[in-house]
Amino acid sequence: MLRYRAVFLLVIFLFVAHVSAQTPRAATDHFKNGNKKLESGDLTGAIEELSWAIEISSRLDVNRGTTHKALANGFADIAGDASDITVIDPFTAHAYTSRGLARYRLGDVDGAIMDWDRAITINPGLAAAYLDRGCARYTKGNKAGALADWDRALSINPRLAEAYSNRDAIRREQGETEKALTDLNRAIALDARDASTYCHRGFVWIDKREWQRAISDFDNAIKLEPRIAWAYQGRGIENGSQ
């Protein structure tokens, strides 16, 4: 199970409090409302609010039409390539990143990738956009692209536990068990409360025939999240393999 960025409102509010003075207040209000809805699970509402934030903090290229046209089309005019928008505020990258996450959770993987492409075009140093786009690329079978995105995210922020955990999937598929284990150890050192990472490592221990370590990791996962089914599955595989 891949891990994408979680929405933490405190972090978002601190970010909004420090955005450029050129960001219109209405844009930051829509941004905050959009992230609240994203965290609560109102994905359609989140997309609407974040689209307003993007619209207000950006301006359409004069060759493509007017702001009023975009609004009349339900923001369809800001669904094209990143080059279609002339950004006047770097804040917009964060709004695209959050909207991409809402789209991804709704199953609109292509739309999500499009938003993260835009975010990265505006701000190439935005680690969250690479982290999330990597998950979407992996979902679409683009494993090389996913790995490149997670590597880039970690080069920007080496403390992204999710990126280390996600790389495990590709490492194991490539037979790089030791690299997978190294990544999972780092992920757990950074975030010891994520049950799925213990599950990932449990399966690596099974690959290495380290049965007791596998049991320990599956037990830890179940303690953290008692309903995590694949921890029980892993423990069953381990019991049958001894």
Residue 9, pLDDT above cutoff 80: no
What backbone phi and psi angles, to 5 degrees, belong to 4?
A: -110, 175
DSSP assigned state of 19: S
Say whether pLDDT at 158 is over 90.
Answer: yes
pLDDT of 112 over the 80 cut: yes
CA atoms within 13 A on the CB side of 110: 3
Mean pLDDT of 112-127: 95
Q: What is the pLDDT of residues 134-147, one digit of tens each?
A: 999 999 999 999 99
Is the Cα dihedral 236, 230, 135, 185 positive or negative?
negative
DSSP string, 75-142: TGGGSS-GGGEEES-THHHHHHHHHHHHHHHHT-HHHHHHHHHHHHHH-TT-HHHHHHHHHHHHHTT-
pLDDT at residue 241 in the model: 59
Distance, CA of 152 to CA of 193 (rounded, Å): 24
Task: Name every residue whose Cβ is closer than 8 Å to that of residue 206 and which is 6 or more positions away in sequence.
Answer: 214, 234, 237, 238, 241
CB 127 within 8 A of CB 160: yes
- pTM assigned to the model: 0.80
- CA–CA distance, 72 with 11 (Å, rounded to integer): 33
Please report which confidence band the pLDDT of residue 33 belongs to, taking 50, 70 and 90 as the band edges.
Answer: very high
Tens-digit pLDDT profile for residues 56-98: 887 644 334 334 344 334 444 444 444 455 555 678 999 999 9
Dihedral sign, CA of 48, 52, 58, 64? positive
Question: What mean pLDDT do residues 112-134 have?
Answer: 95
Q: Which residue has the higher pLDDT, 60 or 38?
A: 38
Q: What average pLDDT does the segment 215-235 reach?
A: 93
Each domain of the chain, given as residue ranges in start order, spans 1-123
Mean pLDDT value across residues 202-212: 94
In the numeric block, which tokens belong to residue 77? 């005019």
| CA gap 213, 220 in Å, rounded | 11
Buried b (16+ CB within 10 A) or exposed e, 56-84: bbbebeeeeeeeeebeeeebebbeeebee
Cα–Cα distance measured from residue 16 to residue 144, given in angstroms and rounded to the nearest whole number: 34
In 3-state terms, what secondary structure has residue 174?
Answer: coil
Q: What percent of the chain has pLDDT over 90?
A: 67
For residue 58, what pLDDT is reported?
78
